[in-house]
């Protein structure tokens, strides 16, 4: 798995490329945690180039969401491949996440949230 981090406005975007599985989940978890435990509280995880995900990958996403909630942060998943959305639905994890069609949509939603 390759993880690319970028700062867009007041958001950290983590773009995942390749498989998110038992060998790579910890790298994603640590990257997101270091962001959420630092000054930045908003993380978008872009899954457009995700090739596959297993239980460890789902666990990492759930852990990131739990940490964000505990520190008053926010995590949004963007660009979900249909198969990943299906897996989230089947495991009843979909309601746990903010899901946006794209990074742009997530940023617009964040700006609306900050306005209220």
Comparing C-alpha atoms, which of 90, 115, 82, 110 is closest to residue 98?
A: 110
Comparing C-alpha atoms, which of 22, 75, 97, 78 is closest to residue 52?
A: 22
pLDDT digits (tens, 9 = 90+) for 11-27: 889 999 999 999 999 99
Q: What angle do the packed helices 55-70 and 25-36 form, to 10 degrees? A: 10
Q: Is the pLDDT of residue 63 over 70?
A: yes
Q: Are 22 and 37 in contact (CB under 8 A)?
A: no
What is 2-115's CATH number, 3.30.750.24, 3.20.20.10, 3.10.110.10, 3.30.465.10? 3.30.750.24
- Mean pLDDT across 42-53: 93
Domain ranges within the chain, ordered by starting residue: 2-115
Q: ∠ CA 24-41-110 to the nearest 5 degrees?
A: 105
| Three-class secondary structure of residue 93 per DSSP | coil
For residue 101, give Cα distances in angstroms to 24, 34, 98: 24, 25, 10
Question: What pLDDT does residue 111 have?
Answer: 60
């Amino acid at each position: 798995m390759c993880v690319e981090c970028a700062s867009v406005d007041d958001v950290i975007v983590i773009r995942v490329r390749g498989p998110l599985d038992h060998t790579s989940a910890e790298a994603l978890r640590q990257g997101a945690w270091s962001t959420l435990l630092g000054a930045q509280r908003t993380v978008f995880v872009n899954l457009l180039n995700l090739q596959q995900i297993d239980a460890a990958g789902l666990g990492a996403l759930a852990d990131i969401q739990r940490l964000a909630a505990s520190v008053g942060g926010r995590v949004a998943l963007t660009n979900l491949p249909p198969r990943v959305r299906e897996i989230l639905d089947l495991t009843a994890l979909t309601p746990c996440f903010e899901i946006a069609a794209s990074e742009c949509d997530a940023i617009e939603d964040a700006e609306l949230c900050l306005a209220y």
